């Protein structure tokens, strides 16, 4: 059994201590209870001191599982209690169970004289009846009552010293059992605290902590104070980051999460650039390793419906659309709709928007479908997932092969195409073979169609200019630029930035002079027939119509299953239109 005990881990050995303690307490409780049961009512108790051999030494309890001293003591105590209540032959007692009490000189049993009974003096029970006279010869002798007699016998049986007695009751308690050396090894490592031993045996598990940036914080100082990093380690960590700004350009209120090892040094760090993207930094053997975090949001569709009153942009914002969503919608509809001339109060529109929801935030909003019902125009368009362009339900594209305007947004037409324009001072014919748009210096100019840059130069009258030859044979010129963004021979695509507007050359103010040349002749860019747009056909058209069917159903039903926002503006005056 001891070999099995030795083979157990130290923590398991320690778990046996509460068991021994429990047995000891139960034994002591039985003794005290027995003493109280036999105590005479209203009779004070005498303290019994049992002297032991002064040479005895305290010892540890035996860990033998065959028979414990506590079990023996409890059994002996039970026998001793029986001995105080009835006759026990002397032959049934062992020498260790006899307790010699000095001050007891005589005792008698009820019903018989001391001469006729052979009863050990120390175990004789003094029985008296209230109505019996007391022998005058024994009146002066000290008598041992039931309780004292029982306690004397019990204490005499306990020779192992396991029970922790009160010093006022038992003096010089000792043990006479030998404890093997191998048993002492179990307790030879000093004081043991069970909670600490169990905690020490468990592996270290780092916990995530959060740090919130406060005003004036810098990552270098914070990393040295909180993350246990040296200055060189801070620089090494920043060098591994694809975007250092996430840790160097902080704002009060930003936060990140980190874990420390047992020594208080940085183990892992998680920092987000926004609700979707961030970086995960982990300490490796050769330094820090950085991984990119990209959280996938839940795609959610929202339907917004409203009525035009005043400007279209304000009417769209009133439905709950964000600024970026209104911008997408405006750029989409302006390809077919002139907001200043074609919109009327009371025109109705619906916009189906899809966005990714991450931590309650709407990210990456994209318009899926639009339906506009106006006094001058009805238009329904749906995004095609194959090429990300918009088409009508019949497959006609909104993106023409040649844009009418070489810029995004709306700018005032300051001077139209007029081959018979007169000079305001001389009165002579001074043809204006282009179209002028008043716009701030630095406004981006875009290619109206695919093509190749034919010329980039500077002229005393035209200022800085760019000429592009397009794939359909048309040519376009852009004058009075502040800065070209392309070089001769560059290939450009529809919508690509090619220059910034300016006020160079002979000009009366910041504007763009735009020309369209067909068959080497300048034509009116606002009236010329432009190449037709690209439409879907065949399998591409069938696939688009199959995908567009559920989106069109949403526009017709007005329900998306998620959030539906509707707004109807009160009628405004005609002055608010545009």
CATH value at residue 489: 2.70.70.10
Q: Are strands 378-383 and 390-391 parallel, antiparallel or unpaired?
A: antiparallel
**Of 294, 317, 348, which closes a domain?**
294
φ, ψ (nearest 5 deg) of residue 160: -85, -20
Residue 574 forms part of a structural domain: no
| Residue 157 included in any domain | yes
At residue 253, the pLDDT reads: 86
Judgement on whether residues 127 and 88 belong to the same structural domain of the protein: yes
* Count helices and strands in the chain by DSSP H and E runs: 13, 21
One domain for residues 143 and 280: no
Per the domain annotation, does 421 fall within a domain?
Answer: yes
Task: Give the chain's domain count.
Answer: 4
Residues 29 and 148 in one domain: yes
pLDDT value at residue 429:
85
Q: Alpha-carbon distance 149 to 146, whole Å? A: 5
Q: Say how far apart CA 297 and CA 557 lie, in whole Å.
A: 26
Q: Which of 262, 294, 326 is the last residue of a domain?
A: 294
Helix, strand or coil, per DSSP, at residue 371: strand
- By the 10 Å C-beta count (0-12 exposed, 13-18 middle, 19+ buried), 296 is classed as exposed
Residue 360's alpha-carbon distances to 180, 351, 363, 365, 405, in angstroms, are 70, 21, 9, 14, 39
Residue 203 lies in a domain: no
Residues 95 and 175 in one domain: yes
248, 150: one domain: no
Is 78 inside any structural domain?
A: yes
Q: Does one domain contain both 482 and 546?
A: no
Expressed as residue numbers, the domain containing 497 is 412-523
CB-neighbour burial class of residue 132 (10 A; exposed 0-12, middle 13-18, buried 19+): exposed
b vs e for 349-378, b when ≥16 Cβ sit within 10 Å of the residue's Cβ?
Answer: bbbbbbbbebeeebeeeebbbbbbebeeee
Residue finishing a domain among 294, 311, 346: 294
Would residue 201 count as lying in a domain?
A: no
- Same domain for 314 and 422, yes or no, is no
Please check whether residues 268 and 310 belong to one and the same domain: no
E-assigned strand segments in 273-387:
277-284, 287-294, 298-307, 348-358, 361-373, 378-383
Does one domain contain both 374 and 469? no
Residues whose CB falls within 8 Å of the CB of residue 332, separated by 6 or more in sequence, listed in order: 367, 370, 381, 390, 398
The CATH number that applies at residue 323 is 3.10.450.350
The answer to whether position 134 is within a domain reads yes
Residue 81: inside a domain: yes
Residue 501: predicted pLDDT: 96
Pairing of β 255-260 and β 361-373: unpaired
Judge if 6 and 131 occupy the same domain. Answer: yes
Instruction: Tell me the C-alpha to C-alpha distance, in Å, between residue 423 and each of 428, 429, 430.
Output: 6, 6, 6
Q: Does 153 lie in the same domain as 35? A: yes
Task: Per-residue pLDDT tens, the chain, 578 aa: give them.
Answer: 455 555 666 666 566 656 656 666 666 666 666 656 655 555 555 555 555 556 655 554 444 455 556 666 666 666 666 665 566 666 665 555 445 545 444 444 444 444 454 444 444 444 444 445 545 444 455 555 555 555 555 565 554 444 444 444 444 445 555 656 655 555 555 555 556 655 566 677 888 999 898 888 888 888 888 888 888 888 888 888 888 888 888 888 888 899 998 888 898 999 888 777 889 999 888 888 888 888 777 788 889 999 998 888 899 989 988 888 899 888 888 777 778 778 888 999 999 998 887 777 777 888 999 999 988 888 899 999 888 888 999 998 877 688 899 999 889 999 999 988 877 667 788 888 999 999 999 999 999 998 899 999 999 999 999 999 998 889 999 999 999 999 999 989 888 999 999 999 988 899 999 999 998 899 999 999 887 667 888 999 999 999 999 999 988 886 654 444 444 444 443 434 33
Do residues 261 and 303 share a domain? no
Q: CA 65 → CA 8, 19, 61, 69, 263, distances in Å?
A: 16, 12, 11, 10, 44
**Cα distances (angstroms) measured from residue 107 to each of 47, 135, 143, 343:** 19, 11, 7, 127
């Amino acid at each position: 059994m001891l070999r099995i005990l030795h083979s157990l881990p130290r923590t398991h050995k320690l778990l046996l201590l509460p068991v021994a303690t429990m047995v000891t307490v139960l034994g002591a409780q039985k003794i005290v209870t027995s003493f109280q049961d036999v105590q005479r009512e209203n009779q004070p108790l005498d303290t019994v001191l049992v002297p032991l051999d002064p040479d005895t030494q305290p010892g540890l309890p035996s860990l033998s599982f065959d028979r414990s001293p506590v079990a023996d003591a409890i059994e002996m105590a039970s026998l001793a209690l029986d001995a105080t209540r009835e006759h026990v032959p002397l032959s049934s007692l062992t020498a260790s169970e006899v307790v010699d009490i000095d001050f007891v000189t005589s005792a008698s049993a009820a019903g018989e004289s001391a001469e006729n009974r052979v009863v050990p003096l120390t175990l004789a029970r003094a029985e008296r009846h209230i109505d019996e006279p007391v022998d005058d010869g024994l009146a002066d002798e000290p008598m041992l009552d039931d309780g004292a007699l029982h306690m004397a016998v019990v204490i005499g049986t306990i020779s192992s010293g396991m029970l922790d007695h009160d010093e006022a009751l038992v003096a010089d308690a000792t043990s006479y059992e030998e404890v093997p050396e191998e048993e002492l090894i179990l307790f030879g490592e000093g004081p043991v605290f069970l909670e600490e031993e169990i905690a020490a045996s468990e592996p270290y598990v780092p916990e995530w902590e959060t740090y919130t940036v406060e005003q004036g914080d810098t990552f270098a100082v914070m990393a040295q104070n909180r993350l246990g990093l040296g200055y060189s380690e801070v620089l090494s960590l920043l060098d591994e980051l694809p975007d250092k700004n996430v840790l160097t350009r902080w704002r009060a209120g930003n936060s990140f999460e980190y874990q420390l090892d047992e020594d208080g040094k940085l183990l892992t760090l998680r920092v987000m650039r926004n609700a979707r993207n961030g970086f995960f930094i982990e300490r490796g053997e050769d330094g820090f390793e950085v991984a990119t975090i990209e959280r996938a949001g839940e795609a959610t569709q929202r339907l917004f419906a409203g009525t035009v009153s005043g400007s279209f942009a304000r009417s769209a914002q009133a439905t709950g659309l964000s600024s970026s969503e209104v911008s997408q919608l405006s750029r989409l509809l302006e390809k077919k709709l002139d907001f200043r001339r074609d919109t009327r109060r009371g025109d109705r529109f619906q916009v189906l928007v899809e966005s990714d929801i991450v931590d309650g935030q709407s990210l990456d909003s994209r318009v899926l479908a639009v339906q506009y019902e106006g006094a001058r125009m009805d238009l329904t368009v749906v995004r095609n997932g194959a090429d990300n362009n918009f088409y009508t339900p019949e497959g006609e594209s909104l993106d023409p092969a040649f844009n009418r305007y070489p810029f995004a947004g709306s700018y005032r037409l300051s001077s139209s195409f007029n081959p018979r324009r007169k000079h305001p001072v001389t009165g002579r014919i001074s043809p204006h073979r282009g179209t002028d748009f008043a716009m701030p210096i630095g406004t981006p100019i875009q290619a109206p169609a695919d093509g190749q840059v034919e010329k980039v130069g500077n002229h005393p009258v035209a200022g800085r200019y760019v000429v592009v030859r397009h794939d359909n044979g048309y040519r376009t010129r852009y004058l009075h630029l502040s800065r070209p963004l392309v070089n001769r021979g560059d290939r450009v695509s529809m919508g690509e930035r090619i220059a910034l507007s300016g006020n160079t050359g002979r000009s009366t103010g910041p504007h763009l002079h735009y020309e369209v040349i067909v068959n080497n002749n300048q034509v009116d860019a606002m009236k010329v027939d432009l190449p037709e747009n690209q439409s879907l056909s065949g399998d591409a058209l069938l696939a688009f119509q199959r995908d567009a069917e559920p989106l069109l159903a949403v526009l017709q039903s007005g329900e998306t299953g998620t959030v539906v926002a509707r707004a109807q503006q009160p009628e405004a005056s005609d002055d608010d239109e545009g």
